[in-house]
Amino acid sequence: MTISARDLEQLRSSLPLLSVEQLSTTFVSGDWRVAAVRGVSFSIARGETLVLLGESGSGKSVTARSILRLYGPRTELKGRVMLDGIDLVQATQNDVNHLRGSRMGLVSQDPGSALDPVRRVGSQLREVLRVHQPALSRNEAAARAIDLLTLVGLPDPTRAARSYPHELSGGMRQRVVIALAVSCEPDLLIADEPTTALDVTVQAQILELIGELKGRLGMGTLLVTHDVGVARQMADRVAVMYAGRIVEQGAADQVLGDPAHPYTAALLAALPTSGAVRGSLLPIPGRPPQPGELGSGCPFAPRCRFADEACAAEEPALTPVPGRGAAACIRPLTMAGTMAGSRT
Ligand SMILES: Nc1ncnc2c1ncn2[C@@H]1O[C@H](COP(=O)(O)OP(=O)(O)O)[C@@H](O)[C@H]1O
Ligand SMILES: [Mg+2]
């Protein structure tokens, strides 16, 4: 039996756009090994937003940067990162460089570092366009640059194109970075804390822009944040990271509405909401472990109010929770937010 081109196309569109399988990232320096990401798996469909949520130091950025292969030779990458059938872990650096920009776009926390301070915005956009689409003429690239600055909502795109980055506000600079990231209509947008450096009103505008572009361009989006509010606003699905692993994963309304992992529940309890009484929030005691500090049990146990001796025995695997997503906890919370089988 032969497979027709149409069948192949159907098969392709039914597969996830990005599939990360057992990704591990270890930084190696002499005898030092830092296991920053330990066996992370998730997938993203076309048009879907997965939010990677967790406190600072949990391995979110290392995960995002590993997918983009932004680390040098002193980094061990294990597992598979399949982007539309291509394994980015095995691909040559040349191929990855080409895919970055043409199929994957990156928006990071600091819009300043993504832009060249001594070149006008329009010239930076034109250059990226012509690297990835050499057939574009100068005039076509210039027109396309203006289109992109319009697309990302800059009020006077012609003027923005003539500006140097420092002449623009932080929010406008982040819009320019987003224009660069989507300039080649990538299939996958990776946004790492894209609004953390911006003030609150601008944050909301940038998130709105990312949501809108996702719809218009049909991109899959990996959005990294430590902010539960951002996750609520943006996520279709959520993966919660702790100590280099995913500890809970599922549909956004389930994970953020009825968390199964005590860590997720603690993150949500620490979130200021408009209805919260001052002082009623429960900050999570202690701090997350560094990669070198992991013992044999559940990494969250020392901070978990439900933990007992059994939790110190071994690190729980991410396991499906009936009716919900998956959690890495030996006794996931029930829907009511209490421990299943707890003695109280
Ligand atoms: N290039 C690096 N070399 C060694 N350790 C690193 C490197 N980058 C990150 N780490 C460590 O990996 C852990 C996860 O970092 P990161 O992914 O940046 O966390 P976050 O969730 O805040 O984005 C941290 O303990 C950090 O110190
Ligand atoms: Mg980070």
- Residue 297 CA to residue 291 CA, distance in Å, equals 14
Question: Does 116 reside within a domain?
Answer: yes
User: What per-residue string of b and e applies to 121-142 under the rule 16 or more CB within 10 Å gives b?
Assistant: bbebbbebbbebeeebeeeebb
Question: Does 211 reside within a domain?
Answer: no
- Residue 143 is part of which domain span? 112-185
Query: Which pLDDT value is given to residue 197?
Result: 85
pLDDT score of 115 more than 70: yes
Question: Does 327 reside within a domain?
Answer: no
Domain total of the chain: 1
Question: Does 145 reside within a domain?
Answer: yes
Question: Does 117 reside within a domain?
Answer: yes
For residues 13 and 45, is the Cβ–Cβ distance under 8 A?
no
Query: Which pLDDT value is given to residue 290?
Result: 86
Q: Is 36 in the pocket of ligand 1 (CB under 6 A)?
A: yes
Question: Does 216 reside within a domain?
Answer: no
* Ligand showing the shortest atom-to-Cα distance for residue 58: 1
Q: Is 59 in the pocket of ligand 1 (CB under 6 A)?
A: yes
- Residue 211 CA to residue 208 CA, distance in Å, equals 5
Residue 192 vs residue 111, higher pLDDT: 192
Assigned token pair, 92: 């040559």
Q: How confident is the model at residue 40 (pLDDT cuts 50, 70, 90)?
A: very high
Q: Give me ligand 2 centre to Cα 103, in Å.
A: 22
CA distances from 294 to 178, 289, 299 (A): 37, 7, 6
Query: Which pLDDT value is given to residue 166?
Result: 95
The per-residue pLDDT for range 285-342, each reduced to its tens digit, is 888 888 878 888 999 999 999 999 999 999 999 999 998 999 999 999 986 556 554 4
- Residue 116 CA to residue 139 CA, distance in Å, equals 22
Question: Does 130 reside within a domain?
Answer: yes
Q: Give me ligand 1 centre to Cα 60, in Å.
A: 8
pLDDT score of 23 more than 60: yes
Query: Model-level pTM?
Result: 0.91
Q: Is 291 in the pocket of ligand 1 (CB under 6 A)?
A: yes
Question: Does 165 reside within a domain?
Answer: yes
- Please give the mean pLDDT across all residues of the chain: 90
Q: How confident is the model at residue 112 (pLDDT cuts 50, 70, 90)?
A: confident
The per-residue pLDDT for range 188-199, each reduced to its tens digit, is 999 999 998 888
Note the helical H segments in the chain. Answer: 5-14, 60-67, 93-102, 111-114, 121-132, 138-151, 157-162, 170-182, 200-217, 228-234, 252-257, 262-269
- Residue 75 CA to residue 63 CA, distance in Å, equals 12
- Residue 28 CA to residue 74 CA, distance in Å, equals 5
